[in-house]
Amino acid sequence: MPVEAGLVFIGHLETPWETPQDCPRNGRASDAICHVHVKEPFREGLASVETCSHLYLLYWMHHARRDLIVQAPSFADSPHGSFALRSPIRPNPVALSVVELLAMRPDGFDVRGLDCVNGTPLVDIKPYFAGTDSIPHARVGWREG
């Protein structure tokens, strides 16, 4: 497929895990403290981030293959489309986690709640708004039962 957009990585994620196999399946499954390194030209954009308790991090799963559109994860009993999964394997390997902000640092900040390999490129940071983002009755039907 032709490339339809360009990305600028704004930093990278420093975590205790060196391979995908070492990582927790999702960030909520780990208490590890991780560091979000933001490149210098983008640090001005962190103004007021220190007031947020939780953030969305969007990151680029740089070790993931991109050629599977239907997958059968080990924990599922049948195949599912990549867009019904949180697998890193997808046409654009963008991942997201809601992380807890622990401390601001000169080159970024520390968080809890990540699930990615050390050095994973960072795409974006956004505040998590509990009032509008939380949907307690949301469902993923294929995962029920």
Ligand X SMILES: C[S@@+](CC[C@H](N)C(=O)[O-])C[C@H]1O[C@@H](n2cnc3c(N)ncnc32)[C@H](O)[C@@H]1O
Where in 71-130 is the site for ligand X (CB under 6 A)?
86-88, 95-97, 115-117, 120
Judged by CB under 6 A, the stretch of 21-29, 38-46, 124-132, 133-141 that binds ligand X is 21-29
51/118 with CB nearer ligand X: 118
30 binds ligand X (CB under 6 A): no
Residue of 61, 99, 101, 123 that binds ligand X (CB under 6 A): 61
* Nearest CA among 3, 131, 119, 129 for reference residue 63: 119
Closer residue to ligand X in complex, CB, 96/102: 96
DSSP one-letter code for 137: T
Taking alpha carbons only, the member of 92, 93, 71 closest to residue 82 is 71
- Rounded Cα distance between 132 and 30, Å, is 25
The CB-side HSE value for 98 (13 A sphere, CA atoms) comes to: 10
DSSP for 25-48 reads SSGGG---EEEEEE-GGGGGGGTT
CB of 47 to ligand X, least distance (A): 26
Measured from the CB of residue 25, what is the shortest distance to ligand X in angstroms?
Answer: 5
Residues that bind ligand X (CB under 6 A): 20, 23-27, 61-64, 86-88, 95-97, 115-117, 120
